[in-house]
Structure 1
Amino acid sequence: MKLGFIGFGNMAQAIAKGLIDNDVIKEEHLYFSTRSEESRLTTEKEWHINGLASNQAVVDHSDVVLLAVKPHQVEQVLSELTFPSGLLLLSVVAGYSSRQLNQYVPADQCIRTMPNLNAQVNASMTALVENKQVTDGDWEKAKTIFRAVGEVMIVPEEQLGIFIALAGSSPALVFLFIDTLARAAVKYGMPKDKATAIAAQAVLGSGKTVKEASDSPWNLIDHVSSPGGITVEAVLSLLESDFSSSLITAFNNMIEKNEEMTRKNAE
């Protein structure tokens, strides 16, 4: 498989790194483009992948193209390209719908996707938007690419906003939780770096436990909460302080903001 990147920012770089590190696609089969020869040579030297002088050259050299530009750049970029039959386009552009993409790329050659920041450490949960017109072979290509940076979930497009709030934006909430726990430990005399490492590992392990356990998260809380112990004291304190309500409010705000951005991009 030959993969070309149109846009080579943080997300594209995370995906390229995952593909290379996991030996999914070799460097010589990865392509990108820049208008500046200087930046092209710099990126080639750093990444050992093929730099080309135009986006069309990337399309012409690739079996799969990953579109990773800013939303306001999509129309200009796609309108200048000719996509040959058989090429697959994977879009990681937020707020740009499949319907909009299909104005430039046939529906049977395009899959909208949504990875998250954790792709940088091969721990993304990536959404692949349902598309019954895409062949099984192209679905496997998409899954192979994004499994190199984590896990994959196929979702209907009408649920993508929920997915973005749940998987795309929620890492920021988890980072806030980790930092708050660490700061609380600092209050009692523990160095911040040590406290952050402990809190981060606790969150990492807790997520793994939830994924592998047959119990629900609520039942797992009961397993940790000994009668009359310190854990149940903390759980009750959070429940009394509307911790759950605050999270739901934050989630609602993320959904509303995504809908607002989607409407704006559709105008």
Structure 2
Amino acid sequence: MKRIGIIGVGEIGRAIVEGLYYRGDDAPEVFLSPRGARTAAELSERYQGVRVCPGNQAVVDHSEIVIIAVRRQHRHEALAGLAVADEKIVINVMAGVGNDDLRRTLATEAQLVRAIPLPAIRERRSVTVTCPSHPVTDSFFERLGGALPVADETAFDVFSALTGTLTTHYSYLAALTTWAVGHGIASDDADNYVRGLFQEVGRALSDKNRTLRQLAADHETPKGSNERVRTTWFTPANSEALTQALDGLLADLAG
């Protein structure tokens, strides 16, 4: 595919463009909607093959693959009146918006594929869940770090719910930093140490020969510090609360 259109140029739209141009190798033409004007203008200035279109219909008309990345609550306003030819491929990255819903909005017979691209695709380091599997879209995301096709939208929603834990992780790290500052550590020192500590954890995740539980066990000694914090803070009640939060989010996404 040589022409990609993106409607909704927020964090994920930006990451897709940056991933396509990450190594400067045979990047396609990219056509951006005027939504997210500042980001779109910045990307068009940085990359020669990126253009900002006057409207969303122009994005569709110029593109072979159309990526819809607007917020769910804005989709009807953003997509109203769009004419999408049946030969187009539409990638739906809106959380909680199923393909049947999007097809009704667009009134098209074009191939629709849901996807969950994550910000790390800007460096081609993140696998993207897709549904249904499609050779063109799976190849597109393989280029950006990998594709993980799933059988149906029920499974897709489970993966979508998992993405809702990202900012909780960052907030957990911020809470650790705040605790250290409360005990007299300089804010910059605490921040640098926590970042370094968990960057190392991130690197360990690349070892796919060990399960996540094995990685946890390998970083823990009996009656040691890690075991103490895990067993006194991440209790069964804490784990159940997380399960309930994810179940509630999953129900909303599926509904």
Task: Please indicate the TM-score interval, normalised by the length of the shorter structure.
Answer: 0.7 to 0.9
**Residue deviations 1:102-127, cap 9 Å, x none?**
332325x2211122344466544432
Give secondary structure in 1 for the equivalent of 2:21: helix
TM superposition shift of 1:53 = 1.9
- State the Cα RMSD in Å: 3.2
Structure 2, unpaired ranges of 5+: none
**Residue deviations 1:141-181, cap 9 Å, x none?**
4324xx42x44322221122211221x21111111221122
Q: Which residue of 2 aligns with 1:105?
A: 108
Deviates more, 1:195-204 or 1:90-99: 195-204
Deviates more, 1:88-97 or 1:151-160: 151-160
Q: Which residue of 2 aligns with 1:174?
A: 169
Distance 1:36 1:122 in 2: 23
Distance 2:216 2:59 in 1: 50
TM superposition shift of 1:43 = 6.3
TM superposition shift of 1:61 = 1.5
Distance 2:123 2:173 in 1: 17
Letter of the 1:32 counterpart: L
Is the counterpart of residue 153 in structure 1 residue 154 in structure 2? no
Contact 1:67/1:91 (CA < 8 Å) preserved in 2?
Answer: yes
Is the counterpart of residue 62 in structure 1 residue 63 in structure 2? yes
Give secondary structure in 2 for the equivalent of 1:102: helix
Deviates more, 1:79-88 or 1:174-183: 79-88
Letter of the 2:164 counterpart: S
- Gap change, CA 1:170 and 1:3, over 3 Å in 2: same
TM superposition shift of 1:35 = 8.4
Contact 2:86/2:108 (CA < 8 Å) preserved in 1?
Answer: no
Distance 2:52 2:112 in 1: 23
What is the TM-score with the length of structure 2 in the denominator?
A: 0.80
Distance 1:4 1:239 in 2: 44
Q: Summarize the alignment of residues 14-163 of structure 1 with structure 2, pairs less than 5 Å apart.
A: 14-23=15-24, 26=27, 29-34=29-34, 44-45=44-45, 48=48, 49-103=50-104, 104-106=107-109, 109-119=111-121, 122-131=124-133, 134=134, 136=135, 138-144=136-142, 147-148=143-144, 150-155=145-150, 156-163=152-159
What is the TM-score with the length of structure 1 in the denominator?
A: 0.77
- Gap change, CA 1:250 and 1:201, over 3 Å in 2: farther
Contact 1:37/1:53 (CA < 8 Å) preserved in 2?
Answer: no
Distance 2:227 2:113 in 1: 45
Give secondary structure in 1 for the equivalent of 2:147: strand
Distance 1:187 1:37 in 2: 41
Contact 1:92/1:113 (CA < 8 Å) preserved in 2?
Answer: yes
- Gap change, CA 1:249 and 1:121, over 3 Å in 2: farther
Letter of the 1:33 counterpart: S
Size of the aligned set, in residue pairs, is 250
- The share of aligned pairs that are identical, in percent, is 21
Contact 2:117/2:127 (CA < 8 Å) preserved in 1?
Answer: yes
Distance 1:42 1:218 in 2: 42
Distance 1:120 1:176 in 2: 22
